Structure 1
Amino acid sequence: MKLSYIPLIVVDFSEAVQFWRDVAKLPLTYSDEATGFASFDTGSTTLLLVSRNTFASANEVVTPAQEQNHSMYLSFQVDNVDATYADLIAGGATSVYEPRDFPHMQARQAHVTDPDGHLVELYTPFPKA
């Protein structure tokens, strides 16, 4: 199996596109507000945004309102956790915890949530000795 994309169901499609394109700085590869789909290049796996209404009508299901569900999260390796964290917070992300070192994981990390409450990890591995 190959993980090809990760879909996020979003409430405010325009706000979500703006956040991931302009704040997180992911390259937008496709967007159609009328159909409620957008995709972003992450370098290895596509991040797909699907509006809640589009998902519900396409799958004939009612999706519950977004809650702070942290049973899964997106993890992005970045060049500078502190700078990326600051940029995301300034752009509307909510802090879960500020950048800090995790010696047992050999990385500096921070966590934020996007405007829909999806948990996002930022990490930078420690330099190899």
Structure 2
Amino acid sequence: MKFASVRIITADIKRLVHFYEQITGMPLTYYTENFAELQTPTATLAIGSTHTLQLFGGAEIAAAAQNRSVILEFRVADVDADYQRLAEVLRGAVVQEPTTMPWGNRSLLFRDPDGNLVNFFTPVAPEALKRLDG
């Protein structure tokens, strides 16, 4: 089995796609006006509008902007540099400024426009580098 992607359902796909393009510095690909993807070497972040829920059986199976349990995590080269680069974009959205966590990652936690938690992290401790790089 290969973990392939995470999909966010949103009521405003253009706003969310623009946000993820800003924070990652990578373009997302629109396949339809209601579905886009950010493909990285390790996984894909899919963003679907609420209109796509009809294809799965109805709007009641998922609710946009209701996540309170998942954190989307992106490993970045320098979390402190990204924090500075994104200061304007993240204004009012930062949950935790860059902090070194007990497990050896330096972490920046913030919310996307739908309220989903996003973690940018950089492994800084030797144990974290070994765990993540093998």
Query: TM-score scaled by structure 1?
Result: 0.82
1:86 aligns with 2:87: no
- Segments of 5+ residues of structure 2 without an aligned counterpart are 128-134
Closer, same or farther: CA 126–65 of 1 in aligned 2, 3 Å: closer
% identical equivalent positions: 33
Runs ≥4 residues deviating over 4 A: none
> Deviation string for 1:71-93 (max 9, x for gaps)?
11111111111222333442246
- Segments of 5+ residues of structure 1 without an aligned counterpart are none
- Code of the aligned partner of 2:16: A
Q: CA RMSD in A?
A: 2.1
- Code of the aligned partner of 2:104: Q
Q: Provide the residue aligned with 1:96 in structure 2.
A: 95
Closer, same or farther: CA 99–112 of 1 in aligned 2, 3 Å: same
> Deviation string for 1:8-58 (max 9, x for gaps)?
11121111111111332234244422xx00011122111100012222x22
Q: Provide the residue aligned with 1:42 in structure 2.
A: 40
Q: Provide the residue aligned with 2:4 in structure 1.
A: 4
1:75 aligns with 2:73: yes
Q: Distance in 2 between matches of 1:48 and 1:101?
A: 29
Q: Provide the residue aligned with 2:131 in structure 1.
A: none
Determine helix, strand or coil for the equivalent of 1:79.
coil
Aligned residues between the structures: 124
Q: Distance in 2 between matches of 1:107 and 1:58?
A: 39
